[in-house]
Amino acid sequence: MTERAFHDSRQRRIRRRIRRGAGFTAAADEGHRPLSFQRRRLLATLDKPMVAVVVLLLAIGSLMVFSSTWDWSNSTYGSATGFFIEEHLRNVVLATLALIIFATVDYRFWKKFAFWLLLMTIVLLVAVLEFGEVRFGAQRSFAGGRFQPGELAEFIIVLYMAAWLGSKNTRVDSVFHGLLPFLVVVGAVSFLIVDQPDISSAAIVALTASVMYFVAGANLIQMAAVGGIAGAVSLVVIESWPYAQRRIADFVAGFNDVTLSDYHTLQAITAFLRGGWFGVGIGHSEQKFGALPAPHTDSIFAIIGEELGVMGAAIVVTLYIVFAIRGFQLARRAQDSFGALLCVGFTSWVIIQALLNIAVMTGAIPSTGVPLPFISFGGSSLMVVMIGVGLMLSVNRIATRQKSSSERRSDIASFDRSWRNRRARLSRAGDRPSAIAGQQ
C-alpha cells in the first residue's frame, strides 16, 4: 500500500468515527441495527438543564392542579379525577408535543412568518372584542375560555420583536426607525388587550417588548421616554376603569391594615399563614374550598404555600430563577441576533408572568389575573409557553450542531496537518546515511 493510499484509508476511518460520535451508529458489520440519526441528534442537542426545570415545573403544576380541584371535580363531575386534571394532563401532552416539534424545526424558519403572525394576532384581538365570550366581566376568549388571543399576543410579540430588532437593517437607536415603530406596534397590541379589558396581559406585552428593545441596543434616553409614556398611559387607563381604581385603593389600604386588603389578596395571605414553613400537606388545603377564587389558575401559588409551606414555595421560586439563568445563557450561545433575542424575550416573558403572579399572591402589588407559567391550569397559556421553550431549545440545538461541525472540521484539519508533518519528517532513501556513504 502506498503512503497516499494509507493516508486516505486512515482519514476515512477518522471521519467514520467522528460521524459515529455525532449521532451515527457503528457500521453494519458490527452486528447491530442502526439507530435513527435524527432521534439521537435531537436528544444529544437538547439543553438538559432547561428540560429538567420545565419537567419539574410541569410535575408540580399537575400535582397542584389535582390537589386544588379534586373536591370541585368530585362534586361537579362525580370523580376526583374528572374534568380538570384530565384536561390539564391532556394539555400537558399536547403542549409537550408542540415543544418537541418547535425544538426540532430550525428556529430561523419562523422568522419569515413573524409579520404575518403579528397581523393574524391583531385580527384575532379585534375579533374577540366583537365575537368573544364574556367571562368574569371581560370579553377576552373563545371556545369556552380555552383560547385567549391575549395570551397568543404575548407569544407573537416576542417572535415579531426578535425578527424586527434582530434584522441587520433595523436602526434601534433611531427615533424614526426604531422608537416610533416600536411604540406603534406595542401600543396597538396593548391597546386592543386593554380594551377587553385585560390590563395584566397588556402590561406583560409592554414589559417583555421593552426588555427586548433595551437588550437590542436602545438609547437610554429613548427608554426613559418609553417609561414616561407608559406611566402616562397607565394613569389614563386607571382613571378610565373603575375596577382598576378599586384594586389600587384596596392595595394602598392594605399597607396600613392587612385586613383592609382586597378579598383575593387577603385569602392568599391566609393560605400562606396556614401553611407555615412546611405546609399542611398535599390535599389538605382549606382555602381552596371556596375561599380563594380560581385556586387552580391565578391563585395556585397560594395553594402551594398552604400545602407545601414556605419551603415548597421557595423551591418553585428557585426553579424560576434557574430557568431565568439558563435562558439568558442560551441567549449568549445563539449564533445570530434573532436567536439571542428570542431567548431573551421568552425568558423575560416567563419570569415577568411568574413575578406578577407571585407578587399578587404575597400582596406586593395590586391584584391581577396572571397565571403561573407551567403550573396553572389553562390550555392556551401552557401551549404558548411550551412553544416558546421549544424555540429556545431550537436555538441551542443549532448552536450546538454548528459548534460540533466546526470541531469536527478542526479534528480533520489537525489530522491532515499532523500527517503532512509526519511525511515531512520521513527520510527518503537518498537521505539515509548508508545511501549517502554509498554515494561517496
Q: In the prediction, which pLDDT does 121 show?
A: 92
The answer to the question of residue 189 being in a domain is yes
Q: pLDDT band at residue 393, thresholds of 50, 70 and 90?
A: very high
Specify whether 348 is located in the same domain as 338. Answer: yes
Residue with the larger pLDDT of the pair 288 and 112: 112
Specify whether 208 is located in the same domain as 260. Answer: no
Q: Mean of the pLDDT values across residues 387-407?
A: 83
Specify whether 168 is located in the same domain as 182. Answer: yes
The answer to the question of residue 156 being in a domain is yes
pLDDT in tens, 62-78: 999 888 887 777 766 66
The answer to the question of residue 396 being in a domain is yes
Q: Cis peptide leading into 197, omega within 30 of 0?
A: yes
**What are the beta bridge partners of residue 141?**
133
Residue with the three cell numbers 509526519? 422
Residues 6+ apart with CB under 8 A from 134: none
Specify whether 309 is located in the same domain as 329. Answer: yes
Residue with the larger pLDDT of the pair 318 and 266: 318
pLDDT in tens, 318-336: 999 999 999 999 999 998 8
Q: pLDDT band at residue 389, thresholds of 50, 70 and 90?
A: very high
Q: In the prediction, which pLDDT does 410 show?
A: 54
Cα distances from 60 to residues 86, 117, 148, 157, 419, in angstroms, run 15, 32, 24, 28, 56
Specify whether 246 is located in the same domain as 391. Answer: yes
pLDDT score of 183 more than 70: yes
Percent of the chain past pLDDT 70, that is, above it, reads: 76
pTM above 0.85, yes or no: no
Indicate the residue among 216, 240, 264 that finishes a domain: 240
Q: pLDDT band at residue 236, thresholds of 50, 70 and 90?
A: confident
pLDDT score of 413 more than 70: no
Residue with the larger pLDDT of the pair 331 and 437: 331
pLDDT in tens, 287-308: 887 777 778 888 889 899 999 9
The answer to the question of residue 328 being in a domain is yes
Q: In the prediction, which pLDDT does 298 show?
A: 83
Which stretch, 63-77, 94-108, 175-189, 212-226, has highest mean pLDDT? 94-108
The angle, 0 to 180 degrees and rounded to 10, between the axes of the packed helices 337-361 and 300-333 is 160
pLDDT score of 189 more than 50: yes
Q: In the prediction, which pLDDT does 329 show?
A: 94
Q: pLDDT band at residue 204, thresholds of 50, 70 and 90?
A: very high
pLDDT score of 174 more than 70: yes
The answer to the question of residue 416 being in a domain is no
Which stretch, 85-99, 131-145, 232-246, has highest mean pLDDT? 85-99
The answer to the question of residue 22 being in a domain is no
Q: Mean of the pLDDT values across residues 407-417?
A: 49
Q: In the prediction, which pLDDT does 330 show?
A: 94
Domain count of the fold of the chain: 2
The answer to the question of residue 334 being in a domain is yes
pLDDT in tens, 18-71: 555 444 333 333 344 444 444 446 677 788 999 999 999 999 999 998 888 877
Indicate the residue among 209, 240, 271 that finishes a domain: 240
Cell of 297: 389558575
Per the structure, the complete domain to which residue 87 belongs is given by 55-104+242-402
Residues 6+ apart with CB under 8 A from 67: 282, 283, 285, 288, 303, 307
Indicate the residue among 240, 268, 292 that finishes a domain: 240
What sign results for the dihedral spanned by CA atoms 162, 167, 172, 178? Answer: negative
Percent of the chain past pLDDT 90, that is, above it, reads: 33
DSSP SS3 for 142: strand
The answer to the question of residue 392 being in a domain is yes
Q: Which class for 157: exposed (0-12), middle (13-18), buried (19 or more C-beta within 10 A)? A: buried
Specify whether 97 is located in the same domain as 118. Answer: no
pLDDT score of 98 more than 90: yes
Specify whether 254 is located in the same domain as 289. Answer: yes
Question: How many other CB atoms sit within 10 Å of the CB of residue 245?
Answer: 12
Q: What string of DSSP letters covers 406-435?
A: HHHHHHHHHHHHHHHHHHHHSPPGGGSHHH
pLDDT score of 350 more than 80: yes
Residues 6+ apart with CB under 8 A from 388: 155, 158, 346, 349, 350
Specify whether 228 is located in the same domain as 266. Answer: no
Specify whether 229 is located in the same domain as 193. Answer: yes
Specify whether 90 is located in the same domain as 141. Answer: no
Specify whether 75 is located in the same domain as 211. Answer: no
Average pLDDT, the chain: 79
Specify whether 81 is located in the same domain as 229. Answer: no
